[in-house]
Structure 1
Amino acid sequence: MPIVDPRSGEPLTTPDTDSSSAPSGADPASHIIDVDMSNFQQVVLEGSMNTPVLLDCWAPWCEPCKNLTPVLEKLAREYNGAFVLAKLNIEENQQIAAQLGIRSVPDVKLIMQGQLYDQFQGALPEKQIRDWLSQYLQPPADAPESPEEQAQAALAAGDAATARSIYQQLVQDNPRHYDYQVDLASAVLAEGNAADARTILDNLPPEHREAPKARGVRARLEFGEEAPSQKELAVLKDRDDSEARFKRALRQVADGDYEVGLEGLLALMKSDRSYGDDAARKTLLRVFDALGADHPLTVTYRRKLFALLY
């Protein structure tokens, strides 16, 4: 019984296995099973006809796997039988890995009714995995908040210290999960410690240092450094020239009043495009970086910017 990819209609064949063998490495309390040639047919192919199977393809040398697998095991215990976590060591089962087309790990596949429903590669954050799973499986009613959700709730409540503490623990537990380090920099910045936030960002590997999420935190950091103080704003209160308008918008962005700041920058573009060597447009793009490409304000004001330009 092959696993069929519904997107291509092609079967994902696996080597013939003995379906009569008992599952090895089974943990009935947490629904976690180590799979190999002896039980792959029974646990993954036949088992998915009754219960969804999350196939975790990993390798002993894979550092991201060491971060991801404990998260998957935790979710398997929480879901309490809503799915089976089948763990495949590709080093010890290279024939199965080749038949499944595994090219890199971690590689996680959701198999239901003998079909490959979805998959992801890489060590995703716990919240992202929860969101991904919830598309197919009903989350347990009593599922606790993930650490990321707890940290985000703390930030929303203005408790940056608690968020920092949570992210510090996540970084300690997952040293190669660099998104957590970016989140930590963001929480440290929210506490008002720009120097430490900059150090965290500067110490990221280059590919993560230049990723959109890190650029966004750095942009917020720089806005805070560039924006005029309240004392300086008081001096500008009776002025309505381009410099005063630009500085007010910069302060609004630095204070998190993004929509008012974006509106001010867009208005400045309309009235004085040449100010500061096109500073309003360049700053708009930096704000988009700070908010992220999917933020509603980024989507709205990128559209307005495009309409103004073209």
Structure 2
Amino acid sequence: MPIVDPRTGNPLNTAENASQSSTSQADPSTYIVDVDMSNFQQVVLEGSVNTPVLLDCWAPWCEPCKTLTPILEKLAQEYAGAFVLAKLNIEEHQQIAAQLGIRSVPDVKLISQGQLYDQFQGALPERQIREWLSQYIEAPQEAPPSPEEQAEAALAAGDAASAQAIYQQLAQEYPEHYDYQIGLASAILAAGNATEARTLLDNLPPEHRDAAKARGVRARLEFGEEAPDQQELAALEGRDDSEACYKRALRQVADGHYEAGLEGLLHVMKTDRAYGEDAARRTLLRVFDALGADHPLTVAYRRRLFALLY
């Protein structure tokens, strides 16, 4: 499993990487380790000569840490010894934290050959952490899909029951990883239980309740309440007026077909800006907010909206 420094193209671990055959059989306790003054030198500094070390600096009072650490542990198990996850509680080991210059947590550092190669702060999404890690360590080949990926695939295939079961188990195993609870709310909503989904979202901590992923599920819930039901949609069939186009777009957004819904809303703006007192534009902005500012659809359709307006 090649480990490279993207700045030079050279192996990150210059002391020949351990073979896959040996690391794949390793006991998880050998590559997920709590570090303190007694073993920091051995695990992080000396250990990184043979295997890269991901140093997770966290604290018990840090809410983002409670989201990030389970992700790092899952990746460590998935990579099965290609790197060691060293977890440092800075509250209990302030001397080490001071020596490392830790000012805020979570703070994750990649150590190899006893040297700092890269780092990031904050609870990044799992996909972004994978991309960051893949710059240095090749992901396991033909790795089975993660439970979260299986749940997302089930939702995409319309199997809300399977997605709900997977997210229910993940939420029970990792109660402080709130993305799993948001995923569960999404699956529950897809199964048709809007009241239960709303309750789950309302009970999230404020910083997660207002996050982009939760807003997306809540928007689907609210759009579902506003959108026409199947009987009303059937009555609109064959109509191409502004009202029909707008309501069909609402239904598409409510069902999670964001691109089709955005296209429909933009069409209403182009053809009948006055409809519903500029309802299409206002709804476009609500969808952007639900998806998040960095979502590709938000970026693309915000640009088209700007061009249409100005």
**After the TM superposition, which residues 18-37 of structure 1 pair with which residues of structure 2 at under 5 Å, given as runs?**
30-37=30-37
Unaligned runs of 5+ in 2: 1-5, 8-26
Identity of aligned residues (%): 81
2:278 matched to 1:278? Answer: yes
- The residue type paired with residue 250 of structure 2 is L
TM-score computed with the length of structure 1 as normaliser: 0.79
2:246 matched to 1:246? Answer: yes
**After the TM superposition, which residues 168-247 of structure 1 pair with which residues of structure 2 at under 5 Å, given as runs?**
168-237=168-237, 239-247=239-247
Q: Secondary structure at the match of 2:188?
A: helix
Residues 254-293 of structure 1, C-alpha deviations (whole Å, 9 max, x = no match): 3444333322221221222222121000111222234443
| In 2: Cα distance, 1:309 partner to 1:281 partner | 10
| In 1: Cα distance, 2:32 partner to 2:235 partner | 65
- The residue type paired with residue 164 of structure 2 is R
| In 2: Cα distance, 1:256 partner to 1:193 partner | 15
Contact (CA 8 Å) 1:266, 1:280: kept in 2 or not?
yes
| In 2: Cα distance, 1:166 partner to 1:41 partner | 40
Residues 105-135 of structure 1, C-alpha deviations (whole Å, 9 max, x = no match): 4432111244433333455565554443223
Distance 1:125 1:30, change over 3 A: farther
Contact (CA 8 Å) 1:29, 1:77: kept in 2 or not?
no
Q: Secondary structure at the match of 2:30?
A: coil
Residues 65-108 of structure 1, C-alpha deviations (whole Å, 9 max, x = no match): 56655554454344343222223332343222012122344432
Larger radius of gyration: 1
- The residue type paired with residue 194 of structure 2 is A
Residues 31-77 of structure 1, C-alpha deviations (whole Å, 9 max, x = no match): 34443335434442344344211112234565665665555445434
Contact (CA 8 Å) 1:147, 1:166: kept in 2 or not?
yes
Contact (CA 8 Å) 1:127, 1:148: kept in 2 or not?
no
Aligned residues: 286
Contact (CA 8 Å) 1:127, 1:149: kept in 2 or not?
no
TM-score computed with the length of structure 2 as normaliser: 0.79
- The residue type paired with residue 117 of structure 1 is Y
- The residue type paired with residue 287 of structure 1 is V
2:148 matched to 1:148? Answer: yes
**After the TM superposition, which residues 1-310 of structure 1 pair with which residues of structure 2 at under 5 Å, given as runs?**
30-59=30-59, 65=65, 68-69=68-69, 71-122=71-122, 129-141=129-141, 143-237=143-237, 239-310=239-310
Q: Secondary structure at the match of 2:137?
A: coil
| In 1: Cα distance, 2:248 partner to 2:74 partner | 48
| In 2: Cα distance, 1:54 partner to 1:250 partner | 45
Unaligned runs of 5+ in 1: 1-5, 8-26
| In 2: Cα distance, 1:66 partner to 1:207 partner | 13
Distance 1:273 1:166, change over 3 A: same
Contact (CA 8 Å) 2:227, 2:251: kept in 1 or not?
yes
Q: Secondary structure at the match of 2:259?
A: helix
Distance 1:117 1:254, change over 3 A: same
Aligned Cα RMSD in Å? 3.0
Distance 1:208 1:77, change over 3 A: closer
1:212 Cα offset (Å): 1.6
